[in-house]
Structure 1
Amino acid sequence: MFLSPRGWATFAWQSDYSQFYLIDRGDEAFEAPVEITAEIEKQSYATVSAGVVIYTQDSLNQHIHIAIYDTEPEHSPTEPMSGKPWTRTQTTDVRFPSKSFGLSSPSAPDPLPNGPIFLVDSTDCRLRIDWMEDQGVRDISGPTDPDVIHLTIWPRSSSNGGE
């Protein structure tokens, strides 16, 4: 059964220091982990008290797609536009106490005050992160295809079991 997202957006992004953040709009003390542990490196994300830090393969270009659902949707084994398989997939719990979050990065430690802002129906959510990253050697002297990072968010209470 196809579920329609309650909200979605796609961004052309460049992750500073190979990371970007989904930060709860009410968290005025947000700090990304300073030490990248072996577990964080393996997972490619770190949950914080009110949000999540997502790590990318490198700091070149990404397309970040955020989709918010009211129940867990079916998850495609491939990236929809290219049909290529995801190179990594992770699912985790995440909290947004204000029921809203913004997209940010190290060079902009606070999300812009007027957007982009996303609203969720629950403070406790599930987040599935799908990465489709170029596995070859990157040559920054010419154009490269962006990595795709697909973020699917739904209320934890409506999870269908997750992973």
Structure 2
Amino acid sequence: MALRGWTSLAWQADYGQFYLVDPGDAAFRPPEEITPEMERCSLFVLPAGLVVYTEGCLQQRIDIAIHDAEPDHPPAEPMSGNPWTRTGMAELSFPSRRFSISSPSSPDPLPCGPFFLLDSAAAKARINWMEFQGSRDDSVPVEPDVISIALWPA
């Protein structure tokens, strides 16, 4: 198993969500209604992408890792050692074999990236959340939530 690429992004998930979008999908539209199932799973698979739901609209660190095969999945967030608060799995499709990250305030991927390249159009993903545990008060700085997304060919 080899790591093909990775990044760590400082992010603010508008309205508690962000998207992994195939930039070739001209029909991309995020769901307008969040169902109880979507809330329970904290994700929603699109025909050419993924919606990831977060605990709130505070800061996140989003780690994306692309592998050539299913990687080992650490039981805890590697930097802090804190356990994941949620975990999800999904089978995804990115027909152009690439995706970009986006959000409700900028629903369309930027035309010049950043783009993440994949080895195949069909991918599997494991999403881990390590969310801030405590009261959320925008006037007091808190550590960001961490959302880790590992992708590999299906």
Which TM-score applies when normalising by structure 1? 0.92
Partner of 2:19: 21
How far 1:69 moved relative to its partner? 0.3
Partner of 1:43: 41
SS in 2 for 1:41: helix
**Amino acid of the structure 1 residue aligned with 2:62:** I
SS in 1 for 2:40: helix
Q: 1:89 aligns with which of 62, 69, 87?
A: 87
1:6-155 map, 5 Å: 6-155=4-153
Contact 2:2–2:69 at 8 Å: present in 1 too?
Answer: no
Q: Deviations over 1:40-88 (max 9, x none)?
A: 0100000010000000000100000000001000000000000000000
How far 1:4 moved relative to its partner? 3.7
How far 1:135 moved relative to its partner? 2.1
Gaps (5+ residues) in structure 2? none
Alignment coverage as a number of residue pairs: 154
Contact 2:48–2:93 at 8 Å: present in 1 too?
Answer: yes
Q: Deviations over 1:73-104 (max 9, x none)?
A: 00000000000000000011010000000000
Alignment RMSD (CA, Å): 0.8
Which TM-score applies when normalising by structure 2? 0.98
Gaps (5+ residues) in structure 1? 157-163
SS in 1 for 2:64: strand
Structure 1 segments of 4 or more deviating over 4 A? none
How far 1:29 moved relative to its partner? 1.4
Partner of 1:161: none
SS in 2 for 1:6: strand
How far 1:113 moved relative to its partner? 1.3
